[in-house]
Amino acid sequence: MLFCAITFNFGGIMRKIMSILFIFLFECGIAYSQGFTQINAGLTGLHWSDVAWGDYDGDSDLDVIISGLDSNDNPVTKLYKNEGADTFTQVAGVSITGVYIGDMAWGDYDADGDLDVLLLGYDASGFETTILYENAGDDRFIDSGINFPQVADGSTSFVDYNNDGYLDILLVGFDGNEYITGLYKNNGDATFSLSNINLPSSIKCAYEWADYDNDGDLDVFLTGFDSSGNLLSTLYENNEGHTFTETANTFTGAWLGDAAWGDYDNDGYLDILLSGFAMPNDRIAKLYKNNGDGTFTENTSAGLTGVSHSSTIWGDYDNDGDLDVFIGGTFEAVGSWTRVTDVFINNADNTFTAAGLNFTIDSYWGESAWGDYDADGDMDLICCGFDDVGGSNTIIYRNDASTPNTIPNAPQNLDVSIIENSVLLSWDAGSDNETPSAGLTYNGYIRTEEGEIVWNALSTTPDGQRLIPALGNAQQNTNWLIKDLADGNYFWSVQTLDNNFAGSLFGDEESFTIGTIGVENRDEWENFEKLSNYPNPFHINTTIEFYLKESAGHVEIEIYNVTGQLVRSLGDQKKTSGRHALVWDGTNNWGQPVGSGQYYYALSVDHQLHSVNTCLLLK
């Protein structure tokens, strides 16, 4: 997979005026004017590479991890911290194995509220390697010590394939002897077990997850080169996490390309974008429309330029609420390799038009990713790979849209249905100024009374800031089933995501009880001054949550160390009855970071102590 993307914005009447102006300019042969600015971030140039945006430190801006071969053909993996003002700094002291011809993925495998990273590829000695790194906080990543097959030239992803809330792991690639595929079940205790799920194996591949049939579980589309010399492009339906069945759909087999899910026509069904090398000697970029009945039809009028060694990515470049396409790769002509690097604008009529943007450097044999790194309401790009003269590059392009995207509205009317040890969560559809309601996705969480995360939103709460730019974990559904919950009291909520991967605030947190644990009168339990924090333990910050039976004039959280010294005071504000949350960032009253250890936090209401609990800070 390989390359970059773009974002851009108009609103109301101005959007309509500019759309008309665009049509006029296009017909006159003038290129689209909105573009990107290369910010000269100083990232190490790479090829045979991968990139991934992720807010690893929980400070509400996107950092980035890159891996591949540098200009001297040395494998590297580097983590860059977003310092703001278009500045990225390599995080010193992070020792993550350098790999190339591989893949990376962010995910919170241990459900502690921060992003861990999984990577595979060839190491400096040319051996296959797979390592899961735990985010230990304080800019540290450590080898989890969990053993997986050592593979390269494949694909990896975090996915909750069995709807138990925990992030499982898919590994695909070459282990030095054969092509393998393994789907590893997260046991909920930071260990994994190989499942009995069998999916095809391939190399130079893409395996992408989505709930294409809106039945409440994640299916997988895969494309690549198998051990029999066949080019694959196949969709497998998830049968409630027990088995996967190949669908009857037919797609063009391809490798050395990319695949991506996105609802380009905002009809509530996710479509497939496929690129790569197809037989006998074709470069393709094909769009398959989801018909909503389990079948797909190729959109032959899309007008996308075919590429291989490519990255093809969905994103709302111009903030008009529908998904555009960034394409970066090569089209091999006789005696030359023609580069393609452009955004293809969604015309909302099943066609796309090349914007004609002037990217400073073409690249291939790399990767690209969308992400709003500067949080200005438009989607920026990071691109890496070879350029036209064989140089290695990693470039961040800032989207210079003039009108920012607005965040969606939170879902309302959250409800639960208990089915033995499973819960069906439901909510009303959200809304957004740009993305139509049918095109929105949803992203939820469940946590225990003690703050343990069960279903992970990969967002901060309650403000809804995303840790990764991606579709929501409930996809386009307005209900989602989580299975095999232990007896206990749980809290949950959900947010709305638009086509910029921007998240709304979370809806008002609700609760439910599995089994007989808890008080008989649930209303009494919900309204009691219950005091808890999550995540717990925590590395960077933790949310302290409490409920008030009635309004109060002075509500305060005070945090003490184990010797009884006051460390931090939060709040001392008037609060209404209901749920409230305050965030402690691990600093004292003078803004200085405190050390690792156990801390007590106390809730005082109108100067009377009501509840005390403990939290554990690990740095």
Question: pLDDT band at residue 5, thresholds of 50, 70 and 90?
Answer: very low
For the segment 378-391, the average pLDDT, to the nearest whole number, is 88
Whether pLDDT at 451 is above 90:
no
Tell me the pLDDT of the chain averaged across its residues: 89
Q: Vertex 300, ends 299 and 306: CA angle to 5°?
A: 105
Whether pLDDT at 77 is above 90:
yes
Residue 281 confidence (pLDDT):
81
The percent of residues above 90 in pLDDT, for the chain, comes to: 71
How many angstroms separate the CA atoms of 600 and 558, rounded?
8
Residue 553 confidence (pLDDT):
85
Across 28-32, 140-144, 419-423, least confident range: 28-32
State which H helix or E strand residue 603 sits in.
strand 597-605
Across 83-97, 443-457, 559-573, least confident range: 559-573
pLDDT tens sequence across 414-436: 999 998 899 999 999 999 999 99
> Is the omega angle on the peptide bond into residue 535 within 30 degrees of 0, that is, cis?
yes
State which H helix or E strand residue 101 sits in.
strand 100-107
pTM of the model: 0.82
Phi, psi of 525 (to 5 degrees): -65, -40
Q: Are 410 and 432 in contact (CB under 8 A)?
A: no
Whether pLDDT at 479 is above 60:
yes
Place of tokens 């990693």: 394
Q: Which long-range contacts (CB under 8 A, 24 or more apart) does 429-432 make?
A: 429/478, 430/495, 430/496, 430/504, 431/496, 432/321, 432/406, 432/407, 432/408, 432/496, 432/498
Question: pLDDT band at residue 8, thresholds of 50, 70 and 90?
Answer: very low
The percent of residues above 70 in pLDDT, for the chain, comes to: 91
**For the chain, give me the number of helices (H) and strands (E)?**
2, 42
3-state secondary structure 301-353: CCCCCCEEEEEEEEECCCCCCCCEEEEEEEEEECCEEEEEEEEEEECCCCCEE
Question: pLDDT band at residue 34, thresholds of 50, 70 and 90?
Answer: low
Fold match between 412-514 and 531-617?
A: yes
Range 531-617: architecture per CATH: Sandwich (2.60)
DSSP codes, 469-489 = -S--TTBT-SEEEE--PPSEE
Whether pLDDT at 7 is above 70:
no
Q: Vertex 448, ends 53 and 148: CA angle to 5°?
A: 50
Give the bridge partners for 337, in sequence order: 332
Residue 28 confidence (pLDDT):
36
DSSP codes, 376-442 = SSS-EEEEEEE-TTS-EEEEEEEE--SSPPPPPBPP---EEEEETTEEEEE----B-SSS-GGG-EE
Tell me the pairing of strands 192-194 and 203-210: unpaired
Give the number of other Cβ atoms within 10 Å of residue 84's Cβ: 12
Token digits of residue 100: 């190339």
Residue 30 confidence (pLDDT):
37
DSSP-assigned letter for residue 609: E
Across 51-55, 252-256, 340-344, 532-536, least confident range: 532-536
Residue 606 confidence (pLDDT):
84
How many angstroms separate the CA atoms of 230 and 562, rounded?
63
Residue 576 confidence (pLDDT):
82
pLDDT tens sequence across 270-313: 999 999 999 888 899 999 999 999 999 999 999 999 999 889 99
Residue 519 confidence (pLDDT):
37
For the segment 325-339, the average pLDDT, to the nearest whole number, is 75
More confident residue, 281 or 209: 209
pLDDT tens sequence across 149-179: 999 999 999 999 999 999 999 999 999 999 9
> Is the omega angle on the peptide bond into residue 462 within 30 degrees of 0, that is, cis?
yes
For the segment 302-330, the average pLDDT, to the nearest whole number, is 94
DSSP codes, 52-85 = EEE-TT-SSS-EEEEEEE-TTS-EEEEEEEEEET
Give the number of other Cβ atoms within 10 Å of residue 298's Cβ: 15
More confident residue, 107 or 604: 107
How many angstroms separate the CA atoms of 47 and 417, rounded?
50
Question: pLDDT band at residue 515, thresholds of 50, 70 and 90?
Answer: confident
pLDDT tens sequence across 600-612: 898 888 887 778 8
Residue 581 confidence (pLDDT):
84
Q: Are 544 and 581 in contact (CB under 8 A)?
A: yes
How many angstroms separate the CA atoms of 372 and 497, rounded?
14
Query: Could you say which of 3.40.50.620, 2.60.40.10, 2.70.98.60, 1.10.1200.10 is the CATH number of the domain covering 412-514?
Result: 2.60.40.10
Provide, for the chain, the percentages of residues in helix, strand and coil under a 3-state DSSP scheme, each rounded to the nearest 5. 5, 50, 45
**How do the domains of the chain map onto residue ranges?**
48-197, 257-405, 412-514, 531-617
Phi, psi of 107 (to 5 degrees): -175, 155
How many angstroms separate the CA atoms of 456 and 266, rounded?
26
> Is the omega angle on the peptide bond into residue 593 within 30 degrees of 0, that is, cis?
no
Q: Are 369 and 52 in contact (CB under 8 A)?
A: yes
> Is the omega angle on the peptide bond into residue 537 within 30 degrees of 0, that is, cis?
yes
Whether pLDDT at 579 is above 80:
no
> Which stretches does DSSP call E strand in 160-242?
168-174, 179-186, 192-194, 203-210, 219-225, 231-239
Residue 15 confidence (pLDDT):
36
Residue 332 confidence (pLDDT):
64
Question: pLDDT band at residue 390, thresholds of 50, 70 and 90?
Answer: confident
Question: pLDDT band at residue 231, thresholds of 50, 70 and 90?
Answer: very high
DSSP-assigned letter for residue 525: H
Residue 33 confidence (pLDDT):
53
Token digits of residue 384: 């890496």
pLDDT tens sequence across 349-365: 999 999 998 787 877 88
Q: What does the chain come to in residues?
A: 619
What is the four-CA torsion angle of 515, 520, 524, 525, rounded to 10 degrees? -30
Tell me the pairing of strands 282-290 and 296-298: antiparallel
Question: pLDDT band at residue 529, thresholds of 50, 70 and 90?
Answer: low
Phi, psi of 46 (to 5 degrees): -135, 160
**CA nearest to 173, candidates 133, 216, 138, 224:** 224
